[in-house]
Amino acid sequence: MASSTSCSQADAFRKMGRGIFRSMFSAVLIHFNLSYKTRPGKWPSLLFPIVVENIKYAIHGSDSGAYDSEGRFVPEKFEEIFKKHANENADSLTYNEVKEMLKTNRKPKDYYGWANAFVDWNSLYDLGKNKNEKLTKETVKALYDGSLFEQIAKEHASK
């Protein structure tokens, strides 16, 4: 099953409180980046669909390892993120701790992986940080289990 169109994804970003330009840019970037990796066959589609069943093919290097090569969540790797990098508070990450984690996880000459990890984690931090500028373990877990975006949209709608 392919995901919805980029326009629907832009609407989802808008529901989370993001501006129209940022929402459109994010949707296009995500679809452009993931479509060619998840689509079967050689030929690209100008609609840039994301085939969710093939999302494991979009895993990149230089990341936390919280998903294995088959796309399965690895709880031990998730816990390791906070054990290794949450120095100020065991249940949250500061922006500097996120930056340090990204630096630690870099594989040599994996520039594509570095860039993807940087965009992924900086986007997560921007979207999920709390009023104390911390990214909580609960928030990161919600990203991995797929519930974060709905939570943020509901919070935004209630304001």
Q: What is the pLDDT of residues 100-128, one digit of tens each?
A: 999 999 999 999 999 999 999 999 999 99
End-to-end CA distance of the chain: 33
Give CA–CA dist 4/15, Å, rounded: 15
Q: What is the mean pLDDT of the chain?
A: 91
> Which pLDDT score, from 0 to 100, does residue 61 have?
92
- The model's confidence at residue 7, banded by pLDDT at 50, 70 and 90, is low
- The model's confidence at residue 42, banded by pLDDT at 50, 70 and 90, is confident
Question: What Å distances lie between residue 62 and 12, 108, 116, 157, CA to CA?
Answer: 27, 9, 8, 35
Give CA–CA dist 56/75, Å, rounded: 17
Q: State both tokens at 88.
A: 């100020």
> Which pLDDT score, from 0 to 100, does residue 1 have?
45
